[in-house]
Structure 1
Amino acid sequence: MNKKFGITAAAVLMALSLSACSSNGSQSSSSSTSQSSQVSKKNSNSSAKTNQTNKSNNSSASSSSKPSSQAPEENRMAKMTAKLREALPGMLLPTTDGLGQGSDKLNVRYTKNGNTNVVYYSVGDSSADFNADSVKNEKPFAILTEIKNASSSEVEDTINYTPEQSGLPTTKLDSNTTATIQGAAGQRYLQWNANNYSFVIQASSQLKKDPTDRGKSVLQLSKQYSLPKTSDKGSVRVIVGDSVGSLNTTIAWQDGNNVYQLKAHDTETAFKMLNSLK
Structure 2
Amino acid sequence: MKKNEKTLGLLLLAASLLAGCGSQSQSSSQTSQSSQAESAKKASSQASSKSAAKSASSSAKSSSSQTSSKSAASSSQSTSTSADRIGTLTSQLRAKLPGMLLPTADGLGQGSENLNVRYTSSASKNVVYYSVGTSPLALNDSQIASEKPYAVLTENKNVADASSLINYQEAKTSLPAVKIASGVTGTEEGAAGSTYLQFNQGQWSFVVRASNVEGQKPLPTAQKLLALYQQYGLPNATAKSSVQVDVGESLGSLNTVITWAKGSSVYQLNAHSTETAFKMLKSLS
TM-score (norm 2): 0.70
* Aligned equivalent of 1:80: 89
| CA distance in 1 between partners of 2:197 and 2:136 (Å) | 39
The letter for the 1-side match of 2:174 is G
TM alignment of 1:92-131, pairs within 5 A: 92-131=101-140
SS at match of 2:199: strand
Q: Retained in 1: the 8 A contact 2:150–2:251?
A: no
TM alignment of 1:167-206, pairs within 5 A: 167-206=174-213
| CA distance in 2 between partners of 1:208 and 1:233 (Å) | 32
Q: 1:276 pairs with 262, 274, 283, which one?
A: 283
| CA distance in 2 between partners of 1:109 and 1:158 (Å) | 23
Q: Retained in 1: the 8 A contact 2:193–2:213?
A: yes
* Aligned equivalent of 1:164: 171
Q: Kindly state the Cα deviation for residue 170 of structure 1 after the two structures are TM-superposed.
A: 1.0
SS at match of 1:75: helix
Q: Kindly state the Cα deviation for residue 235 of structure 1 after the two structures are TM-superposed.
A: 0.4
Following TM superposition, the consecutive aligned residue runs of length 4 or more in structure 1 with deviations greater than 6 angstroms are: none
| CA distance in 2 between partners of 1:246 and 1:129 (Å) | 25
* Aligned equivalent of 1:134: 143
Alpha-carbon displacement from aligned partner over 1:7-48 (angstroms, at most 9, x marks no partner): xxxxxxxxxxxxxxxxxxxxxxxxxxxxxxxxxxxxxxxxxx
The letter for the 1-side match of 2:122 is N
Q: CA RMSD in A?
A: 1.3
Unaligned runs of 5+ in 2: 1-76
The letter for the 2-side match of 1:166 is T
Residue 266 (structure 1) aligned with residue 273 (structure 2): yes
Q: Kindly state the Cα deviation for residue 113 of structure 1 after the two structures are TM-superposed.
A: 2.2
Q: 2:252 pairs with 245, 249, 261, which one?
A: 245
* Aligned equivalent of 2:243: 236
Identity of matched residues, %: 50
* Aligned equivalent of 1:218: 225
* Aligned equivalent of 1:63: none
Q: Retained in 1: the 8 A contact 2:148–2:251?
A: no
SS at match of 1:238: strand
* Number of equivalences: 206
SS at match of 2:198: strand
| CA distance in 2 between partners of 1:247 and 1:151 (Å) | 26
| CA distance in 1 between partners of 2:85 and 2:159 (Å) | 31
The letter for the 1-side match of 2:111 is G
Residue 207 (structure 1) aligned with residue 200 (structure 2): no
Considering fraction of residues, name the structure with more helix.
2
The letter for the 2-side match of 1:92 is L
